[in-house]
Amino acid sequence: MKSRLILVLFLLVFLVACATTPTGRTQLAFMPDDEVDAMGLQAFNNLKQEKEISSNSREIQFVQCITDAITNEVDGSWEVVVFNDNTLNAFALPGRKIGVHTGLIDLVDNQDQLASVIGHEVGHVLAKHSNERMSQQLGAQVGVSLVAAIAAPQTAMGQTAISLLGVGAQYGIIMPFSRLHESEADTIGLELMAKAGFNPRESITLWQKMAQASQGAQPAEFLSTHPSHATRIDDLQAEMSETIKLQQQANAAGKNPNCQK
């Protein structure tokens, strides 16, 4: 009886927590938005204390120019910080916070390539992927605990099966959803950069450069939280014709960003 009650409550929580992403996908989001935003703000403040912040005015202006053009397409005011870090990375956090590493600025050739990354990161925030990721992990943990409580395995084989169920949740639920998050952020970011007037074709060039820079060091896609570079490029190419139309409409409306590296 107790197990049935737990199962019913578990299912009710899942049903109540359903939300919809900007692409129309149904997602689970247990956490209140203001709490997730507060976590993002705290994490960003910690990063600003722990990491060296760039004082290069040219780099800062370049990144700020691109960020302003993209975030003008969405609600709210966004803070962007350039960090002195040679890794090829950028990130966005709940609460409208964006960080860009100098290594990524060095890699890109122009505003459009960096816009594809910043658009992608903003896409993560708009789709509430941080909330969904936490909800998935919580759901996976509760699900494994529920099965263990109902089955109550006593043998060594039974205990091993429960342990493997946890591994299955990791590779069968959390990681694939993470790859889905990356692909969804690519779609949202591509649309954002095009609506801001940037050239979406440069997103392909950017990921080709990223693939070359990684020199085959990327793990197998099955065990990775990101799509392979080849998968990512193929997906972007499939959306390119429609996205170019958005760019043309933006340019015709006077949106012609001119951010100089």
Tens-digit pLDDT profile for residues 133-188: 776 666 555 444 444 444 444 544 334 433 433 444 344 434 445 777 888 888 99
CB 108 within 8 A of CB 160: no
Supply 205's token pair.
Answer: 């060039």
Predicted pLDDT at 137: 66
For residue 34, being part of any structural domain is answered with yes
Looking at residues 33-38, what average pLDDT do you find? 79
- Position 220 scores a pLDDT of 45
pLDDT of residue 255: 97
The predicted model scores a pTM of: 0.74
12 domain residue, yes or no: no
Mean pLDDT of 69-98: 91
**Phi and psi, residue 234, nearest 5°:** -60, -45
In a domain, 228, yes or no: yes
Residue 123: inside a domain: yes
Q: What mean pLDDT is predicted for residues 54-70?
A: 97
Q: Is the pLDDT of residue 97 over 80?
A: yes
Does residue 257 sit within a domain?
A: no
Beta strand 97-101 with 79-83 is parallel
Identity of the highest mean pLDDT range in 99-103, 146-150, 165-169, 218-222: 99-103
> Is it the case that residue 195 has pLDDT exceeding 70?
yes
Per-residue pLDDT at 71 exceeds 80 = yes
How large is the average pLDDT for residues 245-256?
Answer: 97
| pLDDT value of position 144 | 40
Contact 257, 197 (CB under 8 A): yes
pLDDT at 225: 54
- Provide the mean pLDDT of the chain: 77
- In this structure, are residues 117 and 103 in contact, taking their beta carbons and an 8 Å threshold? no
Q: How many domains does the chain have?
A: 1
For residue 1, tell me if it sits in a domain.
no
Residue 134: give the domain boundaries.
17-252
pLDDT at residue 17, as a whole number: 55
CA 166 → CA 11, 62, 155, 160, 180, distances in Å? Answer: 19, 45, 17, 10, 20
Please determine, for residue 219, whether its predicted confidence score (pLDDT) is greater than 80: no
> What is the rounded average pLDDT of the residues 112-130?
91
In a domain, 245, yes or no: yes
Q: How confident is the model at residue 123 (pLDDT cuts 50, 70, 90)?
A: very high
Count CB atoms within 10 A of the CB of residue 25: 12
% pLDDT > 70, the chain: 68
Q: Does 153 fall in a domain?
A: yes
* Residues with catalytic roles: 121
Average pLDDT over residues 34-46: 82
Looking at residues 32-49, what average pLDDT do you find? 83
Give the closest residue to 122 by CA, choosing from 200, 184, 214, 36. 184
Question: How far, in Å, CA of 69 to CA of 197, rounded?
Answer: 8
pLDDT: which is higher, 175 or 101: 101
